[in-house]
Chain A
Amino acid sequence: GAGVSQSPRYKVTKRGQDVALRCDPISGHVSLYWYRQALGQGPEFLTYFNYEAQQDKSGLPNDRFSAERPEGSISTLTIQRTEQRDSAMYRCASSARDNYEQYFGPGTRLTVT
C-alpha cells in the first residue's frame, strides 16, 4: 500500500518568506509526527497529533513554527518568516496508534537563502 508521502520534496525559499510543508500519512493511521533532521544528526522531534488533536508540541523551536491536522489525516507544518537556521530535512511519520512503530516519509529538504 501507499506509504507516507510529503510535498514538496525540495523547497528553496528566501529568508523572511513563509513556507508550508505537507504530510499525507498512511491511510487510517491515528498518530502523525513531525521531525527535523540536520545533516549528520538524528531526527529531532517537533510535534505530534492523535487524530486532529495536537498532543505534544514541545519540540517546536519557537512561535514561528506551527502545525495542524484539521481532519485527522493530512497535516501541514508551517514556518513563518523563515531564517537560514531553519534549513534542514523535515520528516513526517505516522503510526497506526500511539506507541506503535512509526513509518517515515521521504522528507522535505528546505533550504532558506
Chain B
Amino acid sequence: DAKTTQPNSMESNEEEPVHLPCNHSTISGTDYIHWYRQLPSQGPEYVIHGLTSNVNNRMASLAIAEDRKSSTLILHRATLRDAAVYYCILRAYGNKLVFGAGTILRVKS
C-alpha cells in the first residue's frame, strides 16, 4: 500500500480556513486520494475523495497537485465541530482503506 505523510497536529482559529497537507510521493496512477475524519468517540466519517482534478463538496475542497505527489484538504471556515483526526488515504480501486496516524486538528474559539 502506498504511504502518506501528514503532520501530527495542526491548530486553527474558528471561522478561518484550514489547509491540511498530505504527501504521497509513491502514489500510483490508479490510486484515489481519500480523506476521512474521526471526531472524538465516533467512527470515521467520509469527507471527500479525488483522482486527478480538484474536488469540492459541502464539507470541504480537495486540491491535488499536478504531479499527484501531494494534496491538500481545505476546510473553508473551521468550526469547533471540525476538531477531529483527519486521515489522508490512498486507495486503489476496490481496495481496502489503510489508515495512518492522521493529523489531529484543534480549533480554537
Could you tell me if B46 and A105 are in contact, using CB atoms closer than 8 angstroms?
no
The DSSP consensus for interface residues of chain B is: loop
A35–B44 Cα distance when bound, in Å, is: 11
Could you tell me if A42 and B102 are in contact, using CB atoms closer than 8 angstroms?
yes
Could you tell me if B99 and A44 are in contact, using CB atoms closer than 8 angstroms?
yes
Tell me whether A42 and B87 are in contact in the complex, defined as CB-CB below 8 angstroms, given that A102-B46, A105-B43, A107-B43 are known contacts: yes
Could you tell me if B99 and A42 are in contact, using CB atoms closer than 8 angstroms?
yes
Interface size class of A (residues with CB under 8 A): 20 to 34
Could you tell me if A45 and B43 are in contact, using CB atoms closer than 8 angstroms?
no
Q: What residues make up the interface of B, taking CB atoms closer than 8 Å to A?
A: 32, 36, 38, 42-46, 49, 85, 87, 91, 93-102
Q: What residues make up the interface of A, taking CB atoms closer than 8 Å to B?
A: 33, 35, 41-45, 48, 56, 59, 91, 93, 98-99, 101-107
